[in-house]
Amino acid sequence: MNEKETAKTRLTDSGAAADLAALARQIAYHDVLYHQKDAPEISDAAYDALRLRYRKLLAEFPHLRPDGDPESRVGAAPVAGFGKVTHAMPMLSLANAFTDEDIEDFVDRIRRFLQLPKDDVPEFMAEPKIDGLSASLRYEKGALAIAATRGDGATGENITANVLTIADVPKKLNAPFPDIVEIRGEIYMNRDDFLALNAQREKEGEAGFANPRNAAAGSVRQLDASISAARPLRFFAYAVGEIAPLPPLGGRGDTDGDAAGLGGTTQQDLRSQLARWGFSLNEPSRLCSGGGALLDYYREIEALRHTLPFDIDGVVYKLNRSDWQERLGFVSRSPRWAIAHKFAAEQAETRLNRIIVQVGRTGALTPVAELEPVTVGGVVVSRATLHNEDEINRKDIRVGDVVRIQRAGDVIPQVIEVDLKQRDEKSQAFVFPTHCPECGSLAVREEGMAVRRCTGGLICPAQAVERLRHFVSRTAFNIEGLGEQRVRELWQDKLIRSPADIFRLQEHREALARREGWGGKSVDKLLAAIEARRKIPLDRFIYALGIRQVGEATAKLLARHYLNLENWRASMAAAYEAESPERRDLQDIDQIGPLIAQDIVDFFAEPHNLAVIDDLSRILTVEAYEKPSGGSALAGKTVVFTGTLATMSRAEAKAKAESLGAKVAGSVSARTDYVVVGDDAGSKADKARALGVRVLDEEAWRALLSSL
What is the b/e burial string over 637-652, where b = at least 16 CB atoms within 10 angstroms of the residue's CB?
Answer: bbbbbbbebeebbbeb
CA 530, chain centre distance (Å): 26
Q: Pick from 421, 416, 422: which is nearest to 345 by CA?
A: 416
Within 493-537, residue ranges assigned H as helices are 499-502, 509-513, 520-531
Mapping DSSP onto H, E and C, the string for 150-188 reads CCCCCEEEECHHHHCCCCCCCCECCCCCCCEEEEEEEEE
CB-based burial label for 105 (10 Å; 0-12, 13-18, 19+): middle
Cis peptide before 245 (omega within 30 of 0): yes
Sequence-ordered list of residues with C-beta below 8 angstroms from that of 135, at least 6 positions apart, any chain:
147, 148, 149, 150, 159, 163, 184, 185, 186, 187, 220, 235
| Sheet with 133-140, side-by-side order of all strands | 143-149, 133-140, 180-188, 234-244
Q: What is the pLDDT of residue 1?
A: 41
535 belongs to the catalytic site = no
Query: For 137, how many CA atoms within 13 A lie in the half-sphere containing its CB?
Result: 30
CA distances, 463 to each of 362, 491, 551 (Å):
6, 11, 17
CA distances, 519 to each of 49, 69, 234, 514, 522 (Å):
43, 35, 43, 7, 6
Mapping DSSP onto H, E and C, the string for 69-85 reads CHHHCCCCCCCCCCCEE
Cis peptide before 176 (omega within 30 of 0): yes
Q: How many residues does the chain have?
A: 708
| DSSP-based helix, strand, coil % in the chain, nearest 5 | 40, 20, 40
Termini Cα distance of the chain: 45
Distance CA 239, CA 182 (A): 9
Distance CA 255, CA 244 (A): 14
Distance CA 286, CA 125 (A): 6
* Catalytic residue chosen out of the listed positions 8, 37, 84, 129: 129
Distance CA 83, CA 76 (A): 15
For residue 309, give the amino acid letter: P
Distance CA 298, CA 270 (A): 22
CB of 123 closer than 8 Å to CB of 320: yes
Distance CA 652, CA 328 (A): 7
Q: Residue 388: what are its φ and ψ, rounded to 5°?
A: -160, 180
Q: What is the pLDDT of residue 3?
A: 38
Q: What is the pLDDT of residue 45?
A: 60
Distance CA 213, CA 193 (A): 12
pTM of the model: 0.51
Q: In which residue ranges of the chain is pLDDT below 70?
A: 1-14, 32-46, 71-82, 210, 246-264, 332, 345-346, 376-379, 407-412, 457-459, 627-632, 708
Distance CA 616, CA 600 (A): 18
CA 161, chain centre distance (Å): 30
State whether residue 557 is helix, strand or coil.
helix
- Which domains does the chain carry? 3-73+345-422 (2.40.50.140), 84-342 (3.30.470.30), 537-623 (1.10.150.20), 638-706 (3.40.50.10190)
Within 250-339, residue ranges assigned H as helices are 267-277, 290-304, 322-328
Q: What is the pLDDT of residue 126?
A: 97
